[in-house]
């Protein structure tokens, strides 16, 4: 990957990648792996970009798709989706952000299903329901209801009303 | 919790320290791996190993006098390699920039096609391996005599009324056929079991994500 490509096509959108990768990983090490894998896949698929959507939407799509299908290597060579739920007590301390409230929000987001994590991240990034549906390949008419449910669940998680 | 999740999100990222990108310098030291790349790599390594192994065994089989086994193994393994090499091309066509549903579905379809083709093949290659093995040993020369002939002669001496087909005792033929039928029946199941052990978790997770997406597409 050339430095120019990274500086022009990835760096300005690094925030998007960081936000998504953080939601699908539980440690700094995994986060770094996911981040560089997303960057690598953006570079590999760069020629498929036809300009039909904004580059940022393209980056969201790739980051989400790659995060949904990443595997973590285990010592015994078995693989699993890293995004599988782990109770908070079992995960290492993950103060990914300086803001405590944001860390708590991320902890709550990580307890959602894979798809719901992607949906809420896109919503929080102020993507329209239509754009969310385009990125995820779902029906825009159903997005609003689902987002409402996810927000309610997040609120309960943040208030400690659900385990 | 007083603040809305939207305000937590916005305020949390006001601080520029919240979004520090890691340096891209660990490409060869990754703890994680992308599932499609993993399959591509796995296919390449497996297929190369099969090609090398089957050629090596073909040579050895001629040297030690069991050429039928070597040829049988080589031909069967060659078919497995050719078919799987073609299947692996489908992985390159999966576009990671499609919508998440299309992307996951494309990978799931590839997986299902790959599993279904290999399951069908397993029903043939396990019996063929067995048959090649039997033929190899049957033709094997031991103390100047063909092993199969020696076994047949001994059986005729002990059981003079034994039925022969093309000079081979009928019950041996029936035994081999029975074994092949059993291997054919269990071949698909063995492959399925193997797959479940190695990729069960991944396949289950894929199914869950697809089900979730389909619910969101259709309801």
| Closest residue in B to A78 (Cα–Cα) | B198
Q: In chain A, what's the furthest Cα-to-Cα distance? A: 48
Bridge partners, residue B146, by sequence:
B141
Which residues, including other chains, have CB under 8 Å from residue B158's CB and lie 6 or more apart? Answer: none
- ipTM of the prediction: 0.81
| pLDDT digit string, tens, across residues B7-37 | 999 888 887 677 878 877 666 666 777 888 8
Please spell the DSSP secondary structure of B125-170, one letter per residue: HHHHHHHHHHHHHHH-EETTEEHHHHHHHHHHHH-TT--EETTEEH
Give contacts of B 3-42 with A, CB under 8 A: 3, 5-6, 8-9, 11-13, 15, 17-22, 24, 26-27, 30-36, 38
Contact B103 A65 (CB under 8 A): yes
Interface check A58 vs B, CB under 8 A: yes
What pLDDT, on the 0 to 100 scale, is given for residue A73?
62
Give the pLDDT band (50/70/90) at residue A2: low
Chain A hits for B38, CB-CB cut-off 8 Å, are 71, 79
Cα–Cα distance between B204 and B211 in angstroms, integer?
11
Using the Cβ of B196 and the Cβ atoms of chain A, whether some distance falls under 8 Å is answered with no
B206: chain A residues, CB-CB within 8 Å: 69
Q: How far apart are CA B147 and CA B149, in angstroms?
A: 5
Average pLDDT, chain A: 84
CATH number, domain A3-159: 1.20.140
Average pLDDT of the residues in A90-100: 66
Q: Which residues of B touch A146 (CB under 8 A)?
A: 216
What pLDDT, on the 0 to 100 scale, is given for residue A75? 47
pLDDT at B184: 94
User: In this structure, what token pair is assigned to residue A141?
Assistant: 């008419």
Size of interface A-B (CB pairs under 8 A): 184
> What pLDDT does residue B204 have?
85
- Each domain of chain B, given as residue ranges in start order, spans 37-218
Question: CB-CB: which of B8, B21, B218 is closest to A105?
Answer: B8
Which tokens go with A36?
Answer: 């560089």
Touching B: A residues 88-147, CB under 8 Å: 97-99, 101-102, 104-105, 113-116, 118, 120, 124, 134-139, 142-143, 146
Number of H helices, E strands in chain B: 6, 5
Tell me which long-range contacts A143-150 makes (C-beta under 8 A, separation of at least 24): A143/A119, A143/B216, A146/A116, A146/A119, A146/B216, A147/A119, A147/A120, A147/A123, A150/A112, A150/A116, A150/A119, A150/A120, A150/A123
Q: Which two tokens stand for residue B82?
A: 């050719």
Q: Residues of A with CB below 8 A from B11's CB?
A: 99, 101-102
Per CB-CB distance under 8 Å, the chain A contacts of B34 are 37, 41, 66, 69-71
* Chain B contact set for A143 (CB, 8 A): 216
CA distance A62 to A118: 12
pLDDT score, position A80:
52
Q: Would the pLDDT of A76 be above 50?
A: no
pLDDT at A123: 95
> B124 with B184: CB under 8 angstroms?
yes
CB contact under 8 A, B100 and A19: no
pLDDT in tens, A102-145: 989 999 999 999 999 999 999 999 999 999 999 999 999 999 99
Residue to test with chain A: of B100, B207, B209, most A Cβ within 10 A: B100
Q: Compute how many other C-beta atoms are within 10 angstroms of the C-beta atom of residue A124.
A: 20
**pLDDT exceeds cutoff 70 at A83:** no
How far is A50 from A39, CA to CA, in rounded Å? 18
The closest alpha carbon to A105, from A93, A87, A117, belongs to A117
**Are B31 and A72 inside 8 Å of each other by CB?**
yes
Residue of A18, A82, A137 lying closest to B99 (CB–CB) = A137
Q: Which residue has the higher pLDDT, A82 or A130?
A: A130
Query: Which regions in chain B score pLDDT beneath 50?
Result: none
């Amino acid at each position: 990957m050339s430095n120019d490509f990274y500086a022009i096509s990835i760096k300005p959108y690094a925030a998007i990648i960081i936000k998504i990768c953080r939601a699908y990983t539980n440690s700094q090490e995994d986060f770094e792996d996911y981040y560089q894998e997303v960057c690598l896949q953006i570079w590999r698929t760069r020629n498929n970009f036809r300009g039909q959507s904004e580059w940022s939407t393209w980056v969201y799509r790739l980051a989400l798709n790659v995060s949904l299908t990443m595997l973590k290597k285990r010592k015994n060579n078995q693989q699993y989706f890293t995004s599988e739920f782990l109770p908070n007590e079992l995960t290492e301390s993950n103060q990914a952000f300086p803001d405590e409230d944001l860390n708590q929000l991320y902890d709550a987001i990580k307890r959602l299903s894979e798809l719901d994590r992607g949906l809420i991240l896109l919503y929080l990034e102020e993507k329209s329901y239509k754009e969310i549906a385009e990125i995820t390949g779902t029906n825009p008419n159903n997005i609003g209801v689902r987002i409402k449910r996810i927000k309610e669940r997040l609120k309960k998680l943040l208030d400690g009303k659900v385990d | 919790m007083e603040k809305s999740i939207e305000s937590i999100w916005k305020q949390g990222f006001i601080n520029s320290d919240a979004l520090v990108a890691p340096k891209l310098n660990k490409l060869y030291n990754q703890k994680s791996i992308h599932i499609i790349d993993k399959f591509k790599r796995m296919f390449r390594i497996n297929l190369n190993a099969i090609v090398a192994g089957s050629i090596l065994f073909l040579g050895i089989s001629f040297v030690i006098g069991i050429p039928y086994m070597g040829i049988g193994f080589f031909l069967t393994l060659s078919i497995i390699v050719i078919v799987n090499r073609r299947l692996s091309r489908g992985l390159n066509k999966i576009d990671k920039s499609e919508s998440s549903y299309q992307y996951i579905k494309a990978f799931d379809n590839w997986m299902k096609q790959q599993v279904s083709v290999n399951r069908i093949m397993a029903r043939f290659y396990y019996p063929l391996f067995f048959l090649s093995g039997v033929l190899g040993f049957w033709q094997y020369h031991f103390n100047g005599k063909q092993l199969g002939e020696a076994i047949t002669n001994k059986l005729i001496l002990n059981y003079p009324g034994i039925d022969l087909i093309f000079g081979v005792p009928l019950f041996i033929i029936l035994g081999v056929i029975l074994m092949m039928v059993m291997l054919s029946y269990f071949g698909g199941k063995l492959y399925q079991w193997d797959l479940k052990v190695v990729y069960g978790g991944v396949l289950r997770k894929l199914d869950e994500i697809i089900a979730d997406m389909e619910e969101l597409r259709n309801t």
